[in-house]
Amino acid sequence: MGRFLKKMAILILLIYVCDMVIGMLAEKKMNSIINKKIVNRATFIDKKVTAELIVLGSSRAAHHYDTKMMSDSFSISCFNCGKDGSGIAYGYGLLSLLKKRSNPQIIIYDLTPYRDYYKGIDIHDDLGMLKDEYRNDSDIKSLFKYIDWLEYVKMNSRIYQYNARFFQIFLSDYISIDTSYIATNGYEPLNESFTYKNIPPIPSCEVDTFKCTLLKDFIRIAYPAKVVFVVSPYYEGIASHMIEPIRDLCINNDVTFIDYSDDIRFYHNKSYFSDQGHLNSTGATVFTRDLIKKMKSMCFKIQ
């Protein structure tokens, strides 16, 4: 057994050294990508974006909010930071990073009830999107520790930090960068006509206390910026009993809440949607225009 323990110790040491070396190489390459003039949308959002009005949320945020229109209308800089598959944990993490490099005046969070408030969609996926910042930011480290202690421990491995992204990082010089996001202020219009997609049913109506706490923390760290929670349109709408608790949370935390989930203009209107969960560019234009009107009528003061 002594021989076994000796060899295990040597193996663990070798693994540690390889992890350090490979991790450092990946980090160096990552830094060189970030320091380039032109970066992809995801890197720009995580590392560089500064704007006076920020839109956060999942793919619904990315595809629903025409931030170019908002920028023209409000006469302030606006950027759409919506990210596919992200939830409130990513939103909170990104906001804490944004606040360190700028002072946005208005933060719009596109809230997806079953992703940001109720159980079902796993919050852990968001941590994967924040791995790059783990070593650089103590707030992100604390977020990892809060959500998943095991994930926090795993992040001690440098290779794990870049898990599933090695090729993206080392082949970045050979992959062309889509810069169309620059012209649209991050907004990603969907131009497809309606296709009915086989989407799994909403997983659960049980409130997720983790997510609730993160929503409140989101509101707290956003201060003094004005926070607006928006439930943007769904093709099939959302049951009102799922929305009411969220509305109550907003009232209790002095946050503006705008709900389009039961707006009849969008309900079962195929011309506005590309699938049941996402507006197409036509729908996004109508929605954004209406949202701007509502926000102006709420006398949002922009300095």
Partner 1 sequence: MNFAFNSFAFLLVYPVVFCLYYVIPQSYTALRNLFLLFISYSFYAIWSLNYIFVLLYVTIVSYFFAFLLNKRKINHTKKVLNIIGISIVLLPLLFCKYINDGDDGGSLLIPIGISFYTIQAVGYLVDVYYNRVEQEKNFIVYALFMSFFPSIVSGPINKASLLIPQLKTVRIFFDYTKVVSGMRMFLWGVFLKVVIADRVGFYVDIVFQDYNNYSSLTLMVTTILYSFQIYTDFAGYSLLAIGIGKTLGLDLMENFRRPYFAYSITDFWHRWHISLSTWLKDTVYIPLGGSRCSRLRNYWNIFITFLLSGIWHGAGLNYIFWGMWHGIIQIVEKMLNEQSCKYGMSVRIIKIGVTFIIVSFAWLFFRLHSIGDVWCFLIKMSMMDSFSVYVPGISFVIELSIGLGLLLIKEVFDEFFPGKCLILDSPYRFIRWGGYIVLLFIIGAFGVLGSDQFIYAGY
Q: Which residues bind partner 1 (CB under 8 A)?
A: 1, 3-4, 11, 14-15, 18-19, 22, 124-125, 128, 150, 153-154, 157, 159-160, 162-168, 171, 175, 195, 197-198, 200
CB nearer partner 1, residue 33 or residue 292: 33
Q: How far is the CB of 17 from partner 1 (least distance, A)?
A: 10
CA distance 177 to 107: 27
Q: How far is the CB of 157 from partner 1 (least distance, A)?
A: 6
Instruction: Give residue for tokens 């009830």.
Output: 113
CB nearer partner 1, residue 103 or residue 179: 179
**Dihedrals phi, psi of 138, to nearest 5 degrees:** -70, -30
Q: How far is the CB of 38 from partner 1 (least distance, A)?
A: 19
CB nearer partner 1, residue 14 or residue 298: 14
Which of 129, 126, 148, 130 is CA-nearest to residue 139?
130
CB nearer partner 1, residue 50 or residue 156: 156
Contact 236, 147 (CB under 8 A): no
CB nearer partner 1, residue 53 or residue 123: 123
Residues 6 or more apart whose CB falls under 8 angstroms from that of 14 comprise none
Q: How far is the CB of 165 from partner 1 (least distance, A)?
A: 8
Torsion of CA 245, 293, 218, 136, to 10 degrees: 150
CB nearer partner 1, residue 75 or residue 180: 180
Q: How far is the CB of 256 from partner 1 (least distance, A)?
A: 35
CA distance 187 to 78: 10
Amino acid symbol at 113: P
DSSP state of 38: S
CA distance 82 to 259: 18
| Residue 222: both structure tokens together | 């956003």
Q: How far is the CB of 28 from partner 1 (least distance, A)?
A: 16
DSSP state of 65: -
Cβ neighbours, 10 Å, residue 244: 11
| Residue 168: both structure tokens together | 């993206």
CB nearer partner 1, residue 169 or residue 221: 169
Q: How far is the CB of 9 from partner 1 (least distance, A)?
A: 13
